[in-house]
Amino acid sequence: MRGCFVTGTDTGVGKTLISTALLYWLGAQGLACSGYKPVAAGTQVIDGERVNEDVRALRAAGSVTLDDVVVGPCQFEAACAPQVAATLEGRTIDRVALLRGAQVVAARAEWLVVEGVGGFCVPLAPDFDSADLAGDLALPIVLVVGLRLGCINHALLSAEAIRRRGLPLAAWVANVLDPQMPHRGDNLASLQHELDRRQERTPRLGLVPNFDSPTAAAVAAHLDNAALRTLFGLTWI
């Protein structure tokens, strides 16, 4: 299985946006790629069909055509914590089934971009969480940092949690949530210094500005090609 696992410092920091941009970039290299959203909470009815926006966005960004149920095998109607959503619907989140679902997608796509749910350590069942799932998949981890007040602490705690699980934090992406964030450059420099100081060098894939109507292509234009080639081991491009 090749690709990456995209997690975030919190919910709503742009994991789906960055994931679709990574898929767009992989597809632009002529590679067969697909997104995978193991657990998705929150659906709405569009054209008579109940869909999850994140799953639909990942499906559209991939270069391999797959059904929603393959890209997002475990979807819940309520937009809340996955374990709570599962309880509301009288369902359980099956760890083995989620891993098997990733293997199904990987059999169809050469490269896989897996988007986590919420932050890094989100309970999925009484006996496992999203960090356990990341360990099961054993993919390099990309951390999306939503740039706003408090993001340095959130990012460093997330990086520490990833390190304690023995997983590789391969790269991070800065995503501007607050366009008016004061001293943004100083905050970025401080965060990069601390990430590098506390573990092996963690490259930044890019600084993504705040878009009114973002697209995968527009976001991908703000990612660093050399860093992406290193992330995916594409030294031949």
Contact 15, 40 (CB under 8 A): no
190-231 residue pLDDT tens:
999 999 998 878 999 999 999 999 999 999 999 999 999 999
pTM for this prediction: 0.96
- The residues annotated with a catalytic role in the active site are 37
Tokens matching residue 89: 């619907």
What domains, with CATH codes, occur in the chain?
3-38+53-74+95-232 (3.40.50.300)
Q: What is the mean pLDDT of residues 9-25?
A: 97
How far is it, in rounded angstroms, from Cα 190 to Cα 217? 29
pLDDT at 201: 87
Closest by CA position to 137, among listed 36, 34, 9: 36
